[in-house]
A and B are shown apart, each in its own frame.
Chain A
Amino acid sequence: AQSVTQLDSQVPVFEEAPVELRCNYSSSVSVYLFWYVQYPNQGLQLLLKYLSGSTLVKGINGFEAEFNKSQTSFHLRKPSVHISDTAEYFCAVRVDTGFQKLVFGTGTRLLVSP
């Protein structure tokens, strides 16, 4: 079964510092990967997605992620974070089993402090 692992439940960082949120997946078939962001008491918003092509994917709000097939990873990065980036981030893999299903990781809470 396909699964997603986000090893870091919480990542504290100072404003303007770089950050990397880790995501590893397990899949034996074609991989479609997503990063979503969730602000408190809100729904999920898509940051970026990898479907095929270039392994470096750029998303909204200055985030980017790199698909690494050999390491089965899809880590999210931002070179300089802002206070407003404080939120929960979810990595997800899409499973096509007759319908499109997303399997989510447990999430990483990014805490940006001044």
Chain B
Amino acid sequence: DGGITQSPKYLFRKEGQNVTLSCEQNLNHDAMYWYRQDPGQGLRLIYYSQIVNDFQKGDIAEGYSVSREKKESFPLTVTSAQKNPTAFYLCASTSGRINNEQFFGPGTRLTVL
């Protein structure tokens, strides 16, 4: 079955540590996205990538970094510069065609202790 996988589902880290969240898709989609979800705030775009080896900052990119070395993979690193990293992180992808929606992964809940 085609889809998006995110790992791990739950992640705990100490303050000041960098952590990397995995996102893999086998939908052959060109574009991939990272969102952050906080209670009562909906989803906010962190980074997006339209093609391999290219990515752009979204609305709340500070304290985050990404890479896109393969079409299938778009890992997100939450760095120690992110002041409030505890949140639910969602990865999404789309083929980019005008009629196609974004497909979402199951999410990773990051808790910084």
Q: How large is the interface on A (under 10, 10 to 19, 20 to 34, 35 or more residues)?
A: 20 to 34
Question: Which of the 9-residue segments A13-21, A44-52, A65-73, A77-85 touches chain B?
Answer: A44-52
Query: Is the C-beta of A74 less than 8 angstroms from some C-beta in chain B?
Result: no
> Are B90 and A46 in touch, CB under 8 angstroms?
no
B94 interfacial contact with A, CB 8 Å: yes
Looking at chain B's contact residues, is the secondary structure mostly helix, strand, loop, or mixed?
strand
Q: Among B43, B44, B106, point to the contact of A42 (Cβ < 8 A).
A: B106
Kindly supply a per-residue 1/0 record for chain A positions 2-36, scoring 1 wherever the CB is within 8 Å of any chain B CB and 0 otherwise: 00000001000000000000000000000000101
Query: Which listed residue, A51, A99, A104, touches B42 by the CB 8 Å rule?
Result: A104
Say how far A74's CB is from chain B's closest CB, in angstroms. Answer: 14
Contact B106 A43 (CB under 8 A): yes
Q: Which of A34, A43, A99, A106 contacts B48 (CB 8 A)?
A: A99
Nearest-CB distance from A53 to chain B (Å)? Answer: 11
Which B residues are in CB contact (< 8 Å) with A9? Answer: 40
Q: Which residues of B contact A (CB under 8 A)?
A: 4, 6, 9, 31, 40-45, 48, 50, 56, 58, 88, 90, 92, 94, 96, 98-99, 101-107, 109
Q: List 11 A-B contacts (CB under 8 A).
A: A9-B40, A41-B88, A43-B4, A43-B104, A44-B43, A44-B92, A99-B31, A101-B45, A101-B58, A105-B42, A107-B42
- 19 additional contacts (CB under 8 A) given A90-B43, A101-B48: A9-B40, A34-B101, A41-B109, A43-B4, A43-B106, A43-B107, A46-B101, A46-B103, A49-B101, A100-B31, A102-B43, A102-B45, A102-B102, A104-B42, A105-B42, A106-B41, A106-B42, A107-B40, A107-B42
